[in-house]
Structure 1
């Protein structure tokens, strides 16, 4: 364990002076009327343990803490018979303990005789096998997977990384029913969990398979200086992504750039992606990552094609200074300022934005919106609310119906670029008529997400009502949720790509009949 027997003796003597001083009524260590106990507790990887000394009558006779090699001592012990207990930390709140020698209970522990003027040696080692042995394999090939981490805590704290032949050993897992979290630092396998019941002194074996995924690697730097920029969230988004969700940027997740600017975006399904970089330092601006710099238009980003089991290198993320767009949103008919209408550059769901991408709204005093965290590029801007009860029809810059058709607005660095908008109130553009599988009208819980059929962008949510109000004429596709009693799904298909187009038309609103299937 890294200490010679002679070196160990010196360490024991030094520790014994401290331990002996802790015992009530202890004499000097060299008192011939007393004895001592020294020993080493051995476990894989070493580490400190707490050592308790008990009399055969069940009384406490002292406590010591071993060094990192497991060496401990009790000095100046009254002659007699004792039992030695070793207490080990675990990943959980409870403690594991065993007794010399290789025993689980006080009653079965070895009796140690201490005589005056003599040192009694009590060595022990962790009961083996014990803990959890996890075997990880690839879900498709069955090959062992070593490049993952296993932890009893979500997020990987205190875990074990790197296996041998796909086998991971966790010796100090808390007793009882436990969940193990398997994560992939290189992003080439999907995270998963494994359930296991643990009992100290028994080796619990569990196997789990992980799905191969793809990853993208890049580096985030300041464009002017070339210095790395840490703490930047980088998200890989497909061409059609619906809306930006808050869990896409959770600080501390692997898709934040490290101190050296490097970042890995992993656990991606095979396919094509665009990178969106979202600095949070107030100095740099958001960008779609292009082949030679940032852009505000997704279609101009560098498209990355990724394959499961492989990592693809993306262009360096060259961050530019933050720029701004500001303006006023008014009622198109009255000219009244609509301070509760907002502006944004990407589709977001109510309550699902982030600090960087939340829609920016006016207020009672300053009735202008300001988007102040953009890269200095031309951006499509959406004007309007995502509130399902709002009756003002949202538009994109240039009075366009969707993001692809928008006229981009150049964000300004020295001065915010002004982009005003006027919105019309619109009535019902679509009526939803759900029915149960036996043809009865359904009036229970139903939420319908509405997506633009051309861009895939989230448009609005229909919740606790049967009409879609305040949406301009456009083709849409619908995804519905009707609670646990029914199957959730897409109207006319199994996903966005196969769903049926429905034309929103406030002048002549159609009725969509959704047939709910029993779960």
Structure 2
């Protein structure tokens, strides 16, 4: 490997089989060279230069031979049994790019634009920002604004060797929600109550996303929201006497199906009537196994699939005796989700989907005891193989075929998986395969989307053997 001027370059080399079956990483020596032995195959090579400390390569300046910026674009080099393949790579000269942003609806220029390429290349400017030190070729950068008035976007820009290219990126105006949080009984403002949104009717609280908390006057404003139909979820911070709620038409509810639908449009602000918080109650209990009667000691009780947002959690962990305590829920009927290591994912009442769950009633200032005996579920097992028939590691996610809800998930360690799923239900199976430097995703059996995925019947008990073949379908996120 040589620098742009032909001088010796230091850094690191990744040698990756084109079919993702092999990966090797090593450092170049002081002469900028490296010799390694690999199985016969076609290979792609990534180089990571170290312009300073040779033991500290700069990940932001990685390129693929010859002169490419991604695994997909990289050239493939054939290595034959007993042969030697020589590859020489010249580093592309790091070059700058100037980023401007404009309103995707009006076309007007946007001020205070920011562009993020990596941790060392994250800059904000007025109407434009210049990022230096990028590898020439197509690069993906995140463009956003500091004021939350536009949705951030990952834009592919073209960096031009030896000159400063200009990229104009369209940003979609964000929607906003404003409301006031008050005590349901007195009407007094409540500070420190935090809000987020979920797609209307789903109860799918986010793992990452917008979050805003009320100030001393109870005022709350959610920024950086996408246009669409949403439900508003409010949870006071830990230690508050108030309970969480899905915001309903006239008050709180524990059922997202009964929540108020808030319709948002790009660039518009919607004012929601005051959110009236009721005082919290407690749900507690001990979770046991229906098969053995023993406590279930590893897992979580929650109101959504995601763990939580920022410093707010949507559930609580089981202790070493299977006990749990939720003390931040409002006085409504709540569906509880039980996610454990050794039993199938299930909602209160031992069912796979939220709509069929047995609600658990919370009463202000009182404690409700709910101690379910969890069903083990049906064993779903099999092998995960790539297009060449090799065992690979992948994430599998089981969805109810009717509602699309996640009803089970597993990550296989060695190409063989074992999942627990409640029956009787029809499911579809999503897979994600992430070999080095690339990500693929699809659905069983050979489908590219949920609508065309093959349905599989999971019986109430027993074992289902199902081999899953993954393919080279690029992941979209």
**1:449 match:** 397
- Secondary structure of the 2:208 match is helix
Task: Specify the structure having the higher radius of gyration (Cα).
Answer: 1
Superposed, 1:8-19 pairs within 5 Å as none
The answer as to 2:260 corresponding to 1:302 is yes
How many pairs were matched up? 361
- Secondary structure of the 2:257 match is helix
Which of 234, 251, 258 aligns to 1:293? It is 251
The answer as to 2:429 corresponding to 1:482 is no
| Structure 2 gap segments, 5+ residues each | 1-95, 136-140
Alpha-carbon spacing, 1:281–1:328, altered in 2? closer, same or farther (3 Å)? closer
Distance 2:180 2:458 in 1: 42
Which of 231, 255, 258 aligns to 1:274? It is 231
Query: How far did residue 300 of structure 1 move?
Result: 0.4
Which of 431, 436, 447 aligns to 2:381? It is 431
The answer as to 2:94 corresponding to 1:136 is no
CA contact (8 A) 2:142 2:155 kept: yes
Which of 443, 465, 471 aligns to 1:517? It is 471
Name the structure where strand makes up a greater proportion of residues: 2
| TM-score normalised by L of structure 1 | 0.59
Alpha-carbon spacing, 1:496–1:194, altered in 2? closer, same or farther (3 Å)? closer
Distance 2:452 2:280 in 1: 39
Measured against aligned partners, the alpha-carbon deviations of 1:308-340 in whole angstroms (never above 9, x if no partner) come to: 444433343322223211112223244333333
Alpha-carbon spacing, 1:297–1:498, altered in 2? closer, same or farther (3 Å)? farther
**2:170 match:** 210
| Structure 1 gap segments, 5+ residues each | 1-130, 162-167, 198-202
Alpha-carbon spacing, 1:195–1:316, altered in 2? closer, same or farther (3 Å)? farther
The answer as to 2:114 corresponding to 1:150 is yes
- Secondary structure of the 1:229 match is coil
Measured against aligned partners, the alpha-carbon deviations of 1:129-183 in whole angstroms (never above 9, x if no partner) come to: xx997532244x571243664367999999556xxxxxx156xx78655978422
Which of 314, 322, 325 aligns to 1:357? It is 314
Distance 2:427 2:315 in 1: 23
CA contact (8 A) 2:201 2:231 kept: yes
Measured against aligned partners, the alpha-carbon deviations of 1:66-105 in whole angstroms (never above 9, x if no partner) come to: xxxxxxxxxxxxxxxxxxxxxxxxxxxxxxxxxxxxxxxx
Alpha-carbon spacing, 1:481–1:153, altered in 2? closer, same or farther (3 Å)? closer
Query: How far did residue 271 of structure 1 move?
Result: 3.1
- Secondary structure of the 2:457 match is strand
**2:368 match:** 417
Distance 2:346 2:143 in 1: 44
CA contact (8 A) 1:481 1:489 kept: yes
| TM-score normalised by L of structure 2 | 0.63
**1:108 match:** none
Query: How far did residue 414 of structure 1 move?
Result: 1.6
The answer as to 2:322 corresponding to 1:371 is no
- Secondary structure of the 2:419 match is strand
Which of 226, 229, 237 aligns to 2:188? It is 226
Distance 2:142 2:111 in 1: 16
